[in-house]
A and B are shown apart, each in its own frame.
Chain A
Amino acid sequence: MSRLRHLLPIACLLLVACQPPAPRNPRPEQLHYPPLTFRVPAVERLDLPNGIRLYLQEDHELPLVEVSAMLPAGSVADPEGKTGLADLYATVLRSGGAGDYPPDAFDELLAERAIDLSASSGSYTLNLGLSLQSKDLMIGLQAMSDMLRHPRFDPQRLELARRQALEAIRRRNDNPGSIAHRTLRQALYPGHPLGRVETRGSLSAISREDLLAFHRRFAHPQGLWLGITGDFDREQLLADLRQLFGGWNGDAARRPVPPVTEKPEAALWLADKPIPQTTILFGELGIDKDNPDLYAVRVMNYILGGGGFNSRLMREVRSNRGLAYSVYSYFQIGRLLPGRFVAGCETKSGTTMQVIRLMREQMRLMREQEVSAEELRLAKESLINSFVFAFEDIHDVVAQQMRLDFYGYPSDYLASYRDRIAAVTVKDVKRVARRYLHPDKQQLVLVGHVKDFDGKPENLGLPVRMIPED
């Protein structure tokens, strides 16, 4: 009887809960999806007679055209003592006037039509961008052609750019993240251009003649790669390009890329700054694009710290313990030289050492234990199933193909990407973790309020170097 008394109210509750029968959602695993039809889109490639490489794709949805261009003249070849040359060249190439147009008139010509024309320097390339309405395409291409063929490098604009770059040096310690990333780069590539930063001296040493010499050497049609997408007529565009760039001839000098030879000693780099949170960065030299471990490294890093909430670092540091908002790791795949592995996080001063220990522990576990089959499956499926998003934007598709060819990726790189990810095994993951993760021998950068740390930085087992203030 007593049992029945207890059961009765429960039975009533159940009845109430069951009426009316609410539609119950299935579990996500129970859903069935139609197959996804997807082909890697074709991109047309052709060469102009003077050697310009062209990548084209028409797209008439919007009355817009996008252009990306590259020249093989990156900042990695800036001579010692003139660090910042490629950057300054790019800035003044764009701002210094071109053809018949002094700087103000050139800016005005573009601004009146809301034409975006940009130039910037990367490690290995000088990058140009042009974005405009299709009705202004000829004006924009003419401006780009003038900029490449007849730049004016106006001396006043050079001085303005130099002063702005000097001011940027003054301001580069304002944000803890920028101190930390700059320091890590310097620590990873000692004595190499990839590890050099602009100084007052190096910027002051750059003359207008240096920019002109840079231009004479590298701005040539045989080194120019052009990717164009959007609302244009192919035949008309080719005729326009022949008109604008025909009669321009020249040799294709690639700016030399010095090899990375020196291996840095592990160290702790410390900047004392009165802020309530510490920026923590671990780093070491990683891999370049020709490394056959590329795919296993991608999967391994997804599990370690590249997979957002699905990664171990996020789970242990943020989700389980509330010690950080952002925590991550990545391999920056070097296109020509070894790139860097970085693991980073920000945590309050009083949990700095705790988070360092946790992150090191997670790297150590990747080396010492095999990941679970479930972790491997998730990482691979995520990388494979999201591959389609590399092709969502037509200009990205064209620019991507152009870069792959420029850097000499294998021709089946995109077509075989998913299969290569699928082939990665648990053993591969452990093998590449052992090979590329060295938690005790990495560069470690801390930017924060040292006196509030939960321990002494000297006890981390690394020689301590103070980051100099400018």
Chain B
Amino acid sequence: MLRSTLLRLSTAFFILFLCSPSRAATLEDKVREHQFANGLRLLVVERHASPTFAAYLTIGVGAVDENSETRGVAHLLEHMLFKGTKTLGTTDYAAEKPLLDKIAAVGGEIDRLKNDPAADRKRLKTLRQQLTELQKQHRRFVVKDEFSRIYAENGGTGYNAFTTKDSTTYLISLPSNKLELWALIESDRMKNAVLREFYTERDVIQEERRRSYESNPGGMLYETLIANAYTVHPYRNPIIGWHTDIANLTLAETREFHRRYYAPINTVIALVGDIDFDRAVAMVERYFGDIPPGTRVPPLAVVEPPQKGEKRIHIDFDAQPQMAIAYHKPTLPAREDYVFDLIDLILSGGPTSRLYKSLVQKQQLATRVSTYGAPGARYDNLFVISAAPRYPHTLAEVEQAIYAELERLTREPVSETELDKARNRLKVDHLQGMQSNNGLARSLTYFQTVAHDWRYLARYQQVISSITASEIMQVAKTYLTADNRTVVTLSKEETQP
């Protein structure tokens, strides 16, 4: 889930040096950049306080780039890329390959037949038995989770990956003498990935879906909100895919997604920590330099049509009531997006913010209220308000109290004090977001991917400081309207609003 907080936490390099003139270097001096002949981009920040570094490799392709046949494939592929390569994760790839091909053939045949009501049930059963038998035979070639083992024995921590609507990221932190190990493994993963144990991993993802969305009221509320706020745009689809999407994604589709998009031209790497820039460039050239550039992820043609009236959904779930309200808004680098970062803080940034003071402290209608941006940033997105009532108060009371505060935003300009407070918060959040190697690496790859240039960060504070109270009022008037909102409530049947 992408939050506007991420944006706030990660946009401060420039400010840092503005507010502390003794530290001479600007962000642009600190971040060193190299683009290789094949289009791969490398960003390095040298920090030698601790003999460690964080490595982020982000591909600018995510769930938004799927179609109705392949929903969930970006995330499934991310899982599959932990399964090894032609040299890692296998005892002998040459011997393993024929068996993998057979598994793919039988598995593909099952996937083709299983949803066809006219399919021969007996044949399907035989195929399933065959698949189980082949998978069993395959086990002897599998070296389990070898990436994970190699990184672990070399002191790696935080070995992980995540898929968003906009992008897919692979990350690890290592002791600083292990740079070459990182380059070897990650380039091998891009060049020689072998998608082993595919059908088992689909089941793992079904469990992930049950855990994060189907058994979790907050997850279900969020998924329902996003799925209903958009009518056309693929931002509406859950990153993980719906249940039947996951069950029917094929190995061929997954492989094709990798072949098509995992290419240097769509990739940015950030290395932050005890790293020497020149050495890093040479190392990345040596391991990634021979990969063909590939083709760019194409921009989507689809545009979400303007919403013409409130959408309202209720979910019946065995949990105490909660709700979320989403408004369509432009994404970065539109000026409105910066305005919403300020609105976000004015409404819900800490105990002196408007929604907190009104709903939680004064009227005591709500037990919590928060705001954030979702679900991505490459395309126009949503401003979301989320809240939970305090018993015996109802969702309806909370909703009305929220609207009263939004209406106030459209009616009177915010005070200079409030504006200053929000600007200060952004400044400090940004500084704090740079404290860790991880945070810095994440920000750099994130903005390079969604804003197409990490220097977006350098201009951020300047734009923020130019935004006026009347501009905030205007943006609130334009976007925080009843026609532009989607409201989702969740509660047990007997406490329905």
Contact = CB atoms under 8 A, between A and B. Distances in A.
B201 interface: yes
Interface stretch (A73-81, A183-191, A282-290, A320-328): A320-328
A276 interface: yes
Interface stretch (A59-67, A211-219, A400-408, A429-437): A59-67
Interface stretch (B58-66, B171-179, B477-485): B171-179
Given A171-B367, A308-B152, 12 more contacts: A28-B150, A107-B352, A114-B424, A132-B428, A171-B319, A175-B217, A307-B152, A310-B148, A319-B200, A321-B200, A325-B204, A381-B152
Contacts of A348: 206-207, 210
A261 B93 CA distance: 57
Contacts of A346: 207, 210-211, 215
Contact of B144 (A111, A276, A319): A319
Contacts of A62: 16, 431, 434-435
Given A133-B431, A276-B210, A325-B205, A28 B155 contact: no
B450 to A, nearest CB: 25
B483 to A, nearest CB: 32
Interface stretch (A144-152, A201-209, A334-342, A388-396): A388-396
Contacts of A64: 428, 431-432, 435
A388 B174 CA distance: 9
Contacts of A310: 145, 148-149, 152
Interface string A165-180: 0011011011110000
Contact of A386 (B20, B155, B428): B155
A31 interface: yes
Interface in A290-346: 307-310, 314-315, 318-326, 346
A382 B435 contact: no
B215 A277 contact: yes
B350 interface: yes
A174 B52 contact: no
A207 B274 CA distance: 53
A407 to B, nearest CB: 24
Interface in B133-173: 139, 144-145, 148-150, 152-157, 159, 173
Contacts, number: 209
Given A22-B290, A321-B200, A61 B145 contact: no
Contacts of A273: 318
A389 B157 contact: yes
28 contacts: A22-B290, A28-B150, A28-B181, A36-B175, A36-B176, A60-B23, A111-B351, A111-B352, A112-B420, A112-B421, A114-B429, A133-B428, A133-B431, A171-B320, A176-B215, A277-B214, A308-B159, A322-B202, A322-B206, A323-B207, A325-B211, A378-B152, A381-B153, A382-B152, A385-B155, A386-B157, A387-B155, A393-B436
A127 to B, nearest CB: 18
Contact of B432 (A31, A131, A378): A131
A335 to B, nearest CB: 23
Return the 3 tightest CB-CB contacts between A and B, nearest first: A385-B155, A322-B203, A309-B148
Interface in A1-50: 22-23, 25-28, 31, 33-38
Nearest to A39: B51
Contacts of A233: none
B466 interface: no
